[in-house]
Amino acid sequence: MTPTSLRAQQWRARVLEWLSAAWKWVLLAAVTVAAAFFILDNAGRHGVTTAIAIAVLAIAAIATWSEPMALALMAMPLLLIVERVGIGGTNLSVSDAALFAAVGAAILLGDRHYSKPMKQLLWLNLVYQFATLLTVIVVPQVQNTVEWFHAWLLISGALVVGWALGRAGFGRAALLLIIAGAVVIALGTIGTGLLQYIAGDLGPVYPAWPWSMHKNFAGTTMAFAVIIVYINPPWARLPGRWIGLAFWLLVVAIVMTQSRQALVGLVAAVVVVAVRKGASVRQRLALLLLIPAIWMVVTMVSEQIESQNEHNSFFQRLDWWREVYAYWKHAPFFGHGLRFWYYDRTLPYQPPQAELEVVASAGLVGLAAFLIMWVGILIVLARVNPAFGTLALAITLSRITQSQFDLFWTAVGVSVPFVVAGICLGAMARYEQEGSALRGAASEEAEPQHEDATEAPSSAARSRGLGRGPQAARAPQASSHTMDPT
């Protein structure tokens, strides 16, 4: 039998084995979706989205009996869904609901022995939370209290979920699920764009499938997945062939949205990767791709300025910034409240820039804490082993860069980068623990053989992969294993 035919038989056996177990879960999922859909009485226009979200979380809760991290893992693709749940008139997004459930599972069932970098990030977020607590006290509105907990959930909660997944060995699966969710958005964007182009409209694409999305939300969300694919950390072992296809699919979809925030965030991420120690030649050559991206952003902004259309996004943002500055001066120290646009008709919109939003909502005290938090986060992640820290640093830097031109406190935009950062830190802690165990086992194997240093490693050591002794436990090098789709 030839090797090719043998491999084909092995693949057929694996597929049949997978199908024999998968059909039960598919049937359970279909029944759960149908039950949730009809129990909710179709839940208006969000009925399908709500039913699917409930079904996924219900199945994950059942699977938690056999795998504690099942709920947190299955929440990953749901983090990308900004549609509202639609239960009882609540304004809760699917992303927030999934994150809340995942945080509960991670705290109760996950590893809570946090590493030093993880603790530092949690303390930095606590600095911001303490500063904004003063605003909650000064401006006692229900919306402010809810948002105070929500802000903690988006950063610390997301970090805890990512840490638990990475620490439990599910970092690769979690990243693949995030990429898969972004690819679905990319397919919807490309499909919507093709129909729009056929109709003669070459403007920005606002995806209509799998749900209606703003171009900036779709672009920035897909940009997170592009960063994961572009860096492709060695410990994640992402499949090169399919990841390369996903990379170009996501890039094309981002270009079709014409989201300047997404492109600027990608530029920042690529620069960070290229200048860090251990970057591959291909990753450094990817800097050439920044030229058309920068040209595209500059061209779009220049056209808006030259048009002198006071209603385009450039001039509209200038008006918003002036209005926010004038509004901030009435409560300069503690701000007007973390969600002032819900109850104060003086400025009935969320400021479209990170620092402006924070200073208007939490005042100078909140802004100082926000800057301390972000500078500290970037410094901590920059000091982490590049094999694990490069992805965490690039994706968080991309987020704060995006938010210089758009909203900051949004469900998907904040939670996803910090979940990925937590995954990286959890995976690093797992690798370090396994490395210590390997080094200890290697030392035990070497002690009886000190009289004959040239003797080959024992069969037990070889079976554990210890043929090279302590060197086998070295951390992966970002430059030697990174598979770059570019």
Sequence-separated contacts (24+) of 294-303 with Cβ below 8 Å: 294/267, 296/255, 296/258, 296/263, 297/260, 297/263, 297/264, 300/258, 300/260, 301/260
Q: Is 74 in the same domain as 123?
A: no
Count: domains in the chain: 2
195 and 214 Cβ atoms separated by less than 8 Å:
no
How confident is the model over 222-281, as pLDDT tens digits?
999 999 999 999 999 998 888 999 999 999 999 999 999 999 999 999 988 888 766 666
Q: Residue type at 70?
A: A
* 84 bridge partner residues: 93
How confident is the model over 454-482, as pLDDT tens digits?
444 444 443 333 333 333 344 455 443 44
Supply the pLDDT for residue 22. Answer: 58
Average pLDDT over residues 55-62: 75
259-276 burial code (b ≥16 CB/10 A, e <16) = bbbbbbbbbbbbebbeeb
How confident is the model over 308-349, as pLDDT tens digits?
666 667 777 788 889 999 999 999 999 999 999 999 889 999
Q: Is 383 in the same domain as 483?
A: yes
262 and 395 Cβ atoms separated by less than 8 Å:
no
Reply yes or no on whether the pLDDT at 45 is more than 60.
no
Task: Please report, to the nearest 10 degrees, the dihedral formed by the alpha carbons of residues 121, 236, 265, 146 taken in order.
Answer: -40
Select the highest-mean-pLDDT range: 296-305, 385-394, 430-439: 385-394
Sequence-separated contacts (24+) of 45-51 with Cβ below 8 Å: 45/86, 46/83, 46/84, 46/85, 46/86, 47/86, 49/81, 49/83, 49/84, 49/85, 49/86, 49/94, 49/211, 50/85, 50/86, 50/87, 50/94
Taking the model in full, what pTM does it have?
0.82
Residue 449 lies in a domain: no
Q: Is 121 in the same domain as 55?
A: no
Residue 261: closest CA among 405, 412, 80: 405
> 276 or 215: whose pLDDT is higher?
215
For 482, residues 6+ apart whose C-beta sits below 8 A from its C-beta are 231, 232, 233, 234, 280, 283
Residue 410: closest CA among 197, 278, 224: 224
Supply the pLDDT for residue 118. Answer: 97
Residue 424 lies in a domain: yes
Residue 15 lies in a domain: no
Residue 377 lies in a domain: yes
Q: pLDDT confidence of 452, banded at 50, 70, 90?
A: very low
Residue 339 lies in a domain: yes
Domain boundary among 79, 110, 141: 110
Domain boundary among 64, 91, 110: 110
Q: pLDDT confidence of 435, banded at 50, 70, 90?
A: confident
Q: Is 279 in the same domain as 360?
A: yes
Residue 453 lies in a domain: no
Q: Is 310 in the same domain as 406?
A: yes
Q: Is 40 in the same domain as 149?
A: no
Q: Is 229 in the same domain as 290?
A: yes
Q: Is 87 in the same domain as 124?
A: no
Q: Residue 302 and residue 308: Cα distance in Å, rounded? A: 10
Supply the DSSP string of 40-94, one letter for each residue. TGGGGGGHHHHHHHHHHHHHHHHHTTT-TTHHHHHTTGGGG--SB--STT---BH
Q: Residue 133 and residue 179: Cα distance in Å, rounded? A: 35
Residue 11 lies in a domain: no
Q: Is 132 in the same domain as 100?
A: no
Q: Is 173 in the same domain as 135?
A: yes
Q: Is 317 in the same domain as 353?
A: yes
Reply yes or no on whether the pLDDT at 379 is more than 60.
yes
Q: Is 274 in the same domain as 376?
A: yes
Q: Residue type at 39?
A: I
Residue 2 lies in a domain: no
Record the tokens describing residue 142, joined without a space.
Answer: 């229900």
Supply the pLDDT for residue 297. Answer: 72
Supply the pLDDT for residue 124. Answer: 98
Domain boundary among 60, 79, 110: 110
Helix (H) or strand (E) holding 359: helix 354-382
Give the domain extent around 370. 116-440+462-486
Q: Residue 404 and residue 362: Cα distance in Å, rounded? A: 17
Q: Residue 277 and residue 273: Cα distance in Å, rounded? A: 8
